[in-house]
Amino acid sequence: MRDADWSFGMLALLAITVTVYFARTLVLGRARNSRVDADGGSLLVTKGFMEFGYWLMAPVVSGLARAGITPDQVTALSLVPALAAGVAVANGRFGLACWLSTGASMCDSIDGLLARRVGTASDAGEAFDAVADRYVEFFFIGGLVVHYRGSLGLSLLALASMMGAYLISYSTAKAEAIGVPAPRGLMRRAERAIYFGFAAGFTPFSALLIGPDAPAWQREAPMVLCMALVGGIANLSAVSRLRQIMASVRARDALRALPGPAPMPVALPTVAPGPGTAVAVAASGAAGAAGGAETKRSFG
């Protein structure tokens, strides 16, 4: 089977699902989703495309929930097509890699949807999912590095994509670890997966049009362009995220360095001297001092 045949099959499947979704939209309206409404989409992946994706995965999530499949099992399953996609890319089988990477990416989205559906979302599952995502992305881009090992420039583009992808994920995790809001930015995990998936699908068409004797950067232009976009935008986004995180940390530390308010004066009752007066005055003073110390700690 020619590699281009895989791409033709994926293109036909995409055309069918888009047509069905378009008809559904005309009759019932857009497939609104609370997560999409909260996220709002981005410049690289629009809100409408995200709604289409969630609509496409909804029946799969329902079927897995009825079958008793756990989110962790779906996460673990994503590693199988991801590894196979990396091997396919390393051997220049981009059309086949498109199918495999699409399956891995769908698993990556479905596990979270399934966890919320069955009520088993947990920090442990999130940690497992985050590590699996890094492996999934490494397999694909690692395959690109192997495939382009004969060209220094293309290998560097692939490595730049990998570096940008990991820096974005690391900056988000670091922000959460030090307790500041994780900044949003372009070329997030889902966006990178979509761009690489489409590039893999269209690369065999480019090879057919240009011919096998052309240089790799011409013959595989969609993938080369994708690596340049992902590598450039992801690294710029990572630098922007770093600046936002540093600004948030400095603002937080400056707020913590502000002196706490002075202790409120304690009004002591006017009493006639007596045996217990000294004890009452001392107790009132100690309470005032403790209140002041507690107020300072709350600002420090």
**Catalytic residue IDs:** 133
In angstroms, what CA-CA distances link 263 with 255, 281, 286?
19, 17, 12
Whether the CB-CB separation of 284 and 300 falls below 8 Å is answered with: no
Question: Please, what sign has the CA dihedral across residues 67, 68, 70, 76?
Answer: negative
What region, left, alpha or beta, does residue 42 occupy, with left being phi > 0 and alpha being psi -120 to 50 degrees?
Answer: beta
Nearest partner of 33 among 9, 55, 18, judged by Cα = 55
Q: How far apart are CA 159 and CA 151, in angstroms?
A: 12
First to last CA, the chain: 67
Whether the CB-CB separation of 263 and 237 falls below 8 Å is answered with: no
